[in-house]
Amino acid sequence: MNPVFPINAPRPAKILVVFGTRPEAIKLFPVIGALAATDGLTVRTCVTAQHRGLLDQVLEIAGLVPDRDLDIMEPDQTLDRLTARLLTGLGAVMDAEKPDRVIVQGDTATAMAGALAAYYRKIPVAHVEAGLRSGDIYHPWPEEVNRRIVAPIADQHFAPTDTAADALRRETIDPATIHVTGNTVIDALHWTRDRIADDPTLAAGLDAIAERFAGRRIVLVTTHRRENFGGGMAAIARAIGRIADRDDIAIVFPVHPNPNVVAVMDAILADRPNVARIAPLDYPHFVRALGMAHLVLTDSGGVQEEAPALGKPVLVMRETTERPEGIVAGTARLVGTDEDRIVSEVFTLLDDNAAYSAMARAHNPFGDGHAAARIARIVANGFGH
């Protein structure tokens, strides 16, 4: 027998969630889960696989099987070619899926092209993690412009913080379309931390490192920013080498697979017994590594949000940040990519207890872990559900 629907019941609205990289997947899996659990919505997912391996690690952990996979990654792909392929690929998916709304996240080429392809078809767009601005179109490059392109297209802006919402209002985005939800990365972090607590084997791959470096304070390092390639990356590598000259610390360094990172680190950091240069960690292992760390040295966006949530001081190897909340809260500090500056800032945190404690207060300006549920509710309300 056919199911009986009430007369005039609205048909479920079809939401197409588009993403392509590790950080997007981490920040969207809680949203996809919340949308799927909301009455009146049907969720479809399309990955562009702009970063294949790192994306797949997250899909597996989150138990996500994408409905569509454009598999767009190519070695040494120019931004022109990447953007063109994303635009035509995503446009074709939208023509086939005919979604009622498209959701994009953050500031990647996938987010920008996804918003544009939806706009060309007059499909409304929601932007998760809207309103981050550095004010400099070359830092981060090209992400600052990617996210600015999404803003005038979207009609639902999910700003993680008041600062981000203010930035959108300054760009004359209609305030009624801006919603401060918190950052969904905190949802992902809490969910993953709880899962590891239930099942420590999920992150047991770090047992050997924990044993090897027992008694030493761990400095967790990540670096991958395009604008640090070249001189900046070499300076970072030399700074890590000097920090590793101390025998009271150890460096845990999941190295981003980009050849611009790997080659420099191989050349400068070979044969260092207290530097564990390891393959990129899946998310549960990375969350455990954050927990093990005494302090974090990074140029990542997401890690700047996660470390404060766990009370870990974070030194940011960038000249500017679109996440000033951590700096204002006192849990993050911009240190740029000058070798001497990085070394001296790390040594200050290692040697000055007061300086360390001031930064290590567990204060999380980026969210309460319930951002995804808020987003799903607002999306559903938009369809009258």
From the list 139, 226, 238, 272, the catalytic residue is: 226
**Contact predicate 210/288, CB 8 Å:** no
Sorted by sequence, the CB contacts under 8 Å of residue 192 that are 6+ apart come out as 61, 283, 284, 287
Tell me if residue 256 is catalytic.
Answer: yes
Active-site annotation holder among 133, 193, 224, 374 = 224
CA 351, distance to chain mean position in Å, is: 31
Site map 173..212 versus ligand UDP, x via CB under 6 A: ------------x---------------------------
DSSP 81-140: HHHHHHHHHHHHHHHHH--SEEEEETTSHHHHHHHHHHHHTT--EEEETTT---SBTTBT
The pair phi, psi for residue 364, each rounded to 5°, is -120, 100
φ, ψ at 181 (rounded to 5°): -115, -15
Per CB under 6 A, 286 contacts ligand UDP: yes
CB of 237 to ligand UDP, least distance (A): 17
Is 51 an active-site residue? Answer: no
Q: Which of the following is catalytic: 256, 288, 318, 374?
A: 256
Which member of 306, 322, 325, 345 binds ligand UDP (CB under 6 A)?
Answer: 306
CB of 109 to ligand UDP, least distance (A): 12
Task: Note if 370 is an active site residue.
Answer: no
Q: Which stretch binds ligand UDP (CB under 6 A): 34-42, 257-265, 300-308, 365-373?
A: 300-308
Cis peptide before 142 (omega within 30 of 0): yes
Of 303, 335, 342, 350, the one binding ligand UDP (CB under 6 A) is 303
**For this structure, is 107 an active site residue?**
yes
**Count of CB atoms situated within 10 Å of the CB of 34:** 23
- Which residue of the set 107, 144, 187, 339 is catalytic? 107
Q: Known catalytic residue: 143? A: yes
From the list 13, 17, 18, 26, which residue makes contact with ligand UDP (rule: CB under 6 A)? 26
- Which residue, 256, 217, 218, 212, is CA-closest to 236? 256
What's the farthest any 2 CA atoms get from each other in the chain? 74
Nearer to ligand UDP, 303 or 335 (CB): 303
Sign of the four-CA dihedral 256, 261, 266, 272? negative
- Contact flag: residue 114 with ligand UDP (CB under 6 A): no
Would you state the structure tokens that stand for residue 194, as one six-digit string? 């709880």
How many angstroms separate the CA atoms of 338 and 335, rounded? 8
312 or 374: whose CB is closer to ligand UDP?
312
> Distance (Å, rounded) from C-alpha 278 to C-alpha 252?
8
**Is 60 considered catalytic here?**
no
Of residues 146, 181, 300, 321, which one binds ligand UDP by CB under 6 A?
A: 300
Entry field: residues in the chain: 385
Q: Of the two residues 99 and 313, which places its CB atom closer to ligand UDP in the complex?
A: 313
Cite the active site residues. Answer: 107, 129, 143, 224, 226, 256
**Positions in the binding site for ligand UDP (CB under 6 A):** 22-23, 26, 185, 222, 224, 254, 280-281, 283, 286, 300-303, 306
